[in-house]
Amino acid sequence: MPNYLSWILTQLVIVVSGVLIGLSPVQANPLLIGEIDNALKTRCLSPTKTAVSIVELPTGNTVYARNVHESLLPASIMKIVTTAAALHYLGPEYRFTTRFLTNGSRVGNQIQGDLIIKGGGDPSLLPEHLWLIANRLKASGIQEITGNLLVDAHFFDQHDRAPSWTQEMTQYSYDAKLAAFSLNFNTLSVRVLPGTQVGSELTVWLEPAPGYMKLSNYGKTIAQGRNTVSISRKETEWGDSEVVVNGRLPLGSAEKVVNLTIENPLRYAGEAFRAFLAQAGIGVRGTTQIVNTDAFGTELYLHSSVPISLILKNLNTYSNNFTAEQIVKTIAAERYGTPGSHAEGLRLVTDFLRIIGVDTQNLVLADGSGLSRKNRFTAKAMTDLLAAMYPRFDTGPDFLASLRVMGAYGVLSNRLAQSPAQGQIRAKTGTLNGVSTLAGYVASPGNKVFAYALFLNDNRCGYYGADKVEDRIVNAIHTYGNNMLLTTVGPGSTMGPSQ
């Protein structure tokens, strides 16, 4: 016991001495360091392309650091950066607006002129919103538009993808195009059920179903067997779209939903609204046209989204690339004026990082979602961002709430469900071929909070193997975070293996 008391006194003297001579107190636990070191010995990891940064909050003191200045692919944890910048520039209560105007006049039940849809970049606009708006216009007494349906797309520039997305586009929803007036995340939902009997056609419908989209259903219902349904979209020589359904689906199968990207999002959203107007009993004499100049008129209806803080929660829960890129362009449009562009948006995001004290020297911001393989970020820059956002009263609570609760409480929570840290982890995941990343916050049982960033680039672990490494590290932080040995080191030193 005397030896133990002597050890405690020695530690106190070291701490006091460190404070008096200006050294930074850093907490480190050999058990934590050893557990992380062992996790990183996994043979499928790249020694030079694996980075780990862990800091204690709110001090920001380094707990563990490995390759923290290495510029690596962040994958979808880039959405953390976009989220923080959006809250900084737009504020948690920002709402996207979509305005419905006319450049004509109201005469009885007619609008004598054009109906204008003024897009405001809303990434959350759904078919049910447009259905409701069409019925509200009908309820106001409007029965006919004598002019055209104009879609004002000037809020964004005319680039429908991030400039760094140079690879050929797929029809998967993660590859959706961008537009100032967008609907259903710029995807078409194709819904499939078995027919009523063996040999009958599958029951297929589109949501929404604009008139220029043709459905070709070659799918058949079978008694039993494997689901082989495949769905694709192709553009016709007349400028229309054809959705082709093939394959077999057994009787009694659950509904299958496939979301396909849209070739022309502005036309898609405009024609979908035209169809909803027709369903509501409002006719449009003219055609649907896209304009890229600022259209003016008398407002008939204003649609506002939910606050962006809620949209950011969905962004990080479902890792929606489309939403992230729409937000980058919106930041530019709101700060620099329309049309919003990626170049200006990403410049503002970089400026934001500098404002909060993040070193941007080795960073490359190529998009807002992390889909581009041209992005480069460092583990230290990520934990510096997390540490800077944590104590901010204006945006910190919304930022933290936007990150998924791992292992508990709802959607996509299976990962770490059996962990001792269940429900104590806020995180964003990232995945590309050969890349797995994880970043966020984790609390110890004593509510000591840590920020962490894990980059596993050039790994050969597969999705499950990489997750296993990351989960082991996060569990270690949670388990040993309460039992740190207080040590003092000079400024800039680290208690874990340094790069």
Q: From the candidates 79, 220, 256, 380, give the one annotated as an active-site residue.
A: 79
Q: Is 76 a catalytic residue?
A: yes
In 3D, which of 423, 465, 457 has the Cα closest to residue 443? 423
What does the block give as tokens for 367? 């998009």
Q: From the candidates 76, 309, 341, 369, give the one annotated as an active-site residue.
A: 76
Q: Is 319 a catalytic residue?
A: yes
CA distance 219 to 31: 58
Q: From the candidates 319, 369, 372, 419, give the one annotated as an active-site residue.
A: 319
Instruction: Report the chain's C-alpha Rg in angstroms.
Output: 27
What are the DSSP E strand ranges found in 166-226? 187-193, 203-207, 213-217, 220-222
Query: How distant is the alpha carbon of residue 312 from its chain centre?
Result: 7
Q: Is residue 178 within 8 Å of residue 329, measured between CB atoms?
A: yes
What does the block give as tokens for 136? 């509200």
What does the block give as tokens for 343? 């170049």
Q: Which helix (H) or strand (E) holds 404?
A: strand 404-405
Contacts of 354 (CB under 8 A, 6+ apart): 360
Q: Which helix (H) or strand (E) holds 432?
A: strand 425-432
CA distance 283 to 142: 9
In 3D, which of 16, 24, 21, 49 has the Cα closest to residue 493? 24
Count of positions (residues) in the chain: 499
- In three-state secondary structure terms, 351 is helix
- Written as one letter, the residue type at 113 is G
Task: Just list the catalytic residues.
Answer: 76, 79, 319
